[in-house]
Structure 1
C-alpha cells in the first residue's frame, strides 16, 4: 500500500513538472506559422537545433546548426541583441533550447510551429 502512495506521488510530480515546463515554454517562446517565420528570419539569427546528420539531410537556407546537445558550450555564438529563430524536426527540442537561452539572458525567442517537417520553403542539403 505504501508503494502505491509513492508511485502516485511520483506520477503527480511528473505531471506537475511537465505542466510547468509546458507553460514556461509558452511564455518565453513565441511559435510562428511558416509565413510569419519566413517574413522575419532573415533579420534574425536562424538556428537549427537538430543534430548534424539531420542538418546535413536538409535545412532551411541560411540556418546555422547548433545542436541542442552542444548548445550549453556554444551559447556564446548567439547574440542577445538580435531575435533568435529556432527550429528542430517537430518543435520539441526548440522548446528546451529556448529555456536554456532564456536562462542565459536571451529573451527575443521564436520557433517554427511544427518544426522543419512542416517547412515548405527552400532547403539546402549537404
Structure 2
C-alpha cells in the first residue's frame, strides 16, 4: 500500500511539473503553424536544434544547426536583438531551447508547431 502511495505522489509530481513547464513555455515562446513560421523565418535567425546527423538528413533551407546539447557553449552565435526561430523534430527540444534562451535574456522566440516532421516547405539535404 505504501508503494502505491509513493507511486501516486511521484505521478502527481510529474504531472504538476509538466503543467508548470508547459505554462511557462507558452508564456515565453510563440508556437507558430507552418504558414506563420514561413512568413517570418527569413527575417530571423533560423536555428535547427536537432543533432548534426538529423540535420544532415534534411533541414529547412537557410537553417543553422545549433544542437540543444551544444546550446550552452554556442549561445554567442545568436544575436539577442534579432528574432530567433527554432525547430526540432517534433517541437520538444525547440521548446526547451527557448526556455534556455529566455533565461539568457532572449525575448523574441518562436518555434515550429509539430517540428520538422510536419514541415512541408523546402528542405535541403546533404
Name the counterpart of 2:5: 5
Aligned-partner Cα distance in 2 for 1:19–1:122? 34
Structure 1 consecutive aligned stretches of length 4 or more whose deviation exceeds 4 Å? none
Matched length: 126
Name the counterpart of 1:80: 80
Q: Tell whether 2:96 aligns with 1:96.
A: yes
1:16-65 residue CA offsets vs partner (Å, 9 max, x unmatched): 00110111111111111111111111110000011000100011111000
Q: Tell whether 2:19 aligns with 1:27.
A: no
Aligned-partner Cα distance in 1 for 2:122–2:37? 13
Aligned-partner Cα distance in 1 for 2:121–2:105? 31
Q: TM-score normalised to the size of structure 1?
A: 0.95
Indicate the SS of the match to 1:31.
Answer: strand
Aligned-partner Cα distance in 2 for 1:38–1:52? 23
Name the counterpart of 1:117: 117
Root-mean-square deviation (CA, aligned residues, Å) is 1.0
Aligned-partner Cα distance in 2 for 1:90–1:117? 6
5+ unaligned residues in a row in structure 1: which ranges? none
